[in-house]
Structure 1
Amino acid sequence: MDTDPVLRAYVLHRLQQRWSPQQISRALRLAHPSEPARRIATETIYQAIYRPNSGILGEPACSPLRTGRDHRRGHTRQIRARRRFAQPMLSIHDRGFEPTDRSEAGHWEGDLIVGPHNRSAIATLVERQTRYLKLVHLPAHDSTELHRALVQVLRHLPLRLRQTLTWDQGTEMARHLDITADTGTRIFFCDAGSPWQRGSNENANGLLRQYFPKSTDLSVHTAGDLARVESQLNTRPRIVLQDRTPAALFTALLGSENHPSLR
């Protein structure tokens, strides 16, 4: 890469677009299947980031990785406890399919990313089969605003593409029965302390923290800001989708009456 300015420029541009090293490597492999010299390994890109003095990528002001890391370190995960609802609620165990089953489209996972002291929030929705992301602007962090915003978003989708929504047991979902009544979308709740039951949404929220860092005021971001981030993430190739993009797959679903499997 250090001897090929075109390849170096390609990698730098994709890093600026917040692609991961793996996404960049796989895209090059697809673009140049018979030209090994025009491809680069994932680990090589990581090494260039972790060793900025090598001169391969120059000396960026900050790490281009979504994690912000400029060195390797172990991964940890913090599991947040959630309060349970007093009113009737549907458990994820009543949903009819396992968290690993993505054979049918129209099932979503959702959550909030929140700012300091829970005073600002953005709702995140991920369609489970295509990993298509929707970001929902919330003027206020409460169940009334979430109800209004989710109804507005879900009503724009065909009924077959808004069958269920799986959420954790946060109090912002206190009006879940109203959401179902207004949209026909059944709301299911995860077990307390089980974020893996919303794996696609948890992954998306991790990606979003590069755009919306923790401990920052989320209310400063407009609906237009969210639309730009949404577009950028939905047009990235994903290894789990065989290097297709969520946007392409979701568009195919919208244009298909039968919604064939996209696995």
Structure 2
Amino acid sequence: MTYSHLTTAELTTIANFFTQGTKAYKVAQMLKRSVETIYRVYRYLKTGATIVDYQQQYVSNKKSCGRKLAQLPQDEVVYINEMVAQVWTPDTIIGRDDRSISCNRRTLYRMFKRGQFGFDAKDLPMHGNRHPNGYVEHRGKAGQLGRSIYERYEDFPNYTKEFDHLEGDTVQGKHHQGAVMTLVEHLSKVEIVLNVHAKKAENINRHLSEWLSKFPRHFFKSITFDNGKEFAGWREIANQFDIHTYFAEVGAPNQRGLNENNNGLLRRDGLTKDRDLRNLPDELVNQLMSKRNRIPRKSLDYRTPYEVLMEHITEDQRQLFSNLN
């Protein structure tokens, strides 16, 4: 039940009735207010104070109302700042529960929005510009390149619970200068970033082939691309590695939501749209990839993608992912 405070007009009316000697319960009926509310004003006026004094006292009291700003111990503040430096969000800091924090998730978000940790809340995921519902992407599309994503679920009924299914895409640089290729393993959410330098089919195939050649045959069961022209040579990869290849529908990036989301995170980490990616150092790409794979994620029960990956590969296979370390 909500409660509205007396307005200035109501207070003036009450003061007039008080001067005229009108009973408080009658005033309450006319104003549709609680009798106790009117009695409270009457008692105040009987002390010789005026309605102006009452209003000033009300304003003074109201300043003490509301939620008090939460204050955390210094050791917790130091820990939170360390995690912020590693691009952890309030949700991750609380959910990971590496150490106890003297507030809940929502309170910590409020602290971030007030700038208490020198962190701009606009840098949090999903606080940037978003396309409206129903948006269809038309840039650089070559039509439906291959088998539909819907066939993937027919071929792999347990797709959502299986390891070794990839989603692939590219992240382009300023003025279409340079690119990296991104691959995300569906179950662990581990992201692989290949420094392909140019968004061309031959570059994509060469670097993807070099990377897949490190793994035993059939280590990866499928790979799902969008319909960008850079993936026009997909048959070569599919035949060479005997890997099932699928394509999302044209203009439907939401069908590869994991890949698209991870690409957005890479943008925030340094591969911005105003950066030329043609001569991107491999060391920087590996650093960004390692950093992103070591941030706990809510969808993984606040484990890191790297931790989940280690649960699904053998000791011998870990060397294949050494650049994530």
Q: TM-score, normalised by structure 1?
A: 0.81
Q: CA 1:99 to 1:223, structure 2 compared with 1: closer, same or farther past 3 Å? A: farther
List per-residue Cα deviations over 1:69-111 (Å, max 9, x = no partner): 6xxx88545642252358x621112213589941111110011
Q: CA 1:209 to 1:74, structure 2 compared with 1: closer, same or farther past 3 Å? A: closer
Match of 2:194 in 1: 136
* Residue segments in structure 1 that go unaligned for 5+ positions in a row: 33-37, 258-263
Matches of 1:110 and 1:187 in 2, distance apart?
10
* Count of aligned pairs: 242
Deviates more, 1:208-217 or 1:17-26: 208-217
Matches of 1:100 and 1:236 in 2, distance apart?
27
Matches of 2:107 and 2:311 in 1, distance apart?
35
2:281 is aligned, of 214, 218, 222, to 222
Match of 2:150 in 1: 93
Match of 1:31 in 2: 99
Matches of 1:171 and 1:143 in 2, distance apart?
7
Match of 2:169 in 1: 111
Tell me: higher relative CO, structure 1 or 2? Use CA pairs within 8 A at least 6 residues apart: 1
Contact residue 167 and residue 189 of structure 1 kept, 8 A: yes
Q: SS in structure 1 opposite 2:167?
A: strand
Contact residue 169 and residue 181 of structure 2 kept, 8 A: yes
List per-residue Cα deviations over 1:19-62 (Å, max 9, x = no partner): 1211011123x534xxxxx343222232222212xxx32x46x6
Contact residue 122 and residue 138 of structure 1 kept, 8 A: yes
Q: CA 1:74 to 1:169, structure 2 compared with 1: closer, same or farther past 3 Å? A: closer
Which letter does structure 2 place at the counterpart of 1:253? H
Q: CA 1:126 to 1:99, structure 2 compared with 1: closer, same or farther past 3 Å? A: farther
RMSD: 2.7
Structure number with greater Rg is 2
Identity %: 25
1:167 equivalenced with 2:225 (yes/no): yes
Q: TM-score, normalised by structure 2?
A: 0.67
Matches of 2:274 and 2:126 in 1, distance apart?
15
1:7 equivalenced with 2:61 (yes/no): no
Q: CA deviation at 1:156?
A: 1.8
List per-residue Cα deviations over 1:105-149 (Å, max 9, x = no partner): 111001111112322111111000110110010122200000001
Q: CA 1:156 to 1:66, structure 2 compared with 1: closer, same or farther past 3 Å? A: farther
Matches of 2:72 and 2:305 in 1, distance apart?
34
Q: CA deviation at 1:187?
A: 1.7
Match of 1:35 in 2: none
1:50-69 alignment to 2 at 5 Å? 50-52=113-115, 56-57=116-117, 59=118, 65-67=123-125
Q: SS in structure 2 opposite 1:134?
A: strand
List per-residue Cα deviations over 1:156-214 (Å, max 9, x = no partner): 23334311110110000011001112222222111011112111101111111112122
Q: SS in structure 2 opposite 1:49?
A: helix
1:121 equivalenced with 2:192 (yes/no): no
Contact residue 95 and residue 302 of structure 2 kept, 8 A: yes
Q: CA 1:135 to 1:66, structure 2 compared with 1: closer, same or farther past 3 Å? A: farther
1:169-188 alignment to 2 at 5 Å? 169-188=227-246
Q: CA 1:157 to 1:20, structure 2 compared with 1: closer, same or farther past 3 Å? A: farther
Matches of 1:79 and 1:20 in 2, distance apart?
30
Matches of 1:202 and 1:112 in 2, distance apart?
10
Q: CA 1:68 to 1:175, structure 2 compared with 1: closer, same or farther past 3 Å? A: closer
Match of 1:245 in 2: 304
Matches of 1:161 and 1:235 in 2, distance apart?
23
Q: CA 1:168 to 1:19, structure 2 compared with 1: closer, same or farther past 3 Å? A: same
Contact residue 99 and residue 197 of structure 1 kept, 8 A: no
Deviates more, 1:149-158 or 1:18-27: 149-158
* Residue segments in structure 2 that go unaligned for 5+ positions in a row: 1-69, 317-325
Match of 2:251 in 1: 193
Matches of 1:234 and 1:181 in 2, distance apart?
30
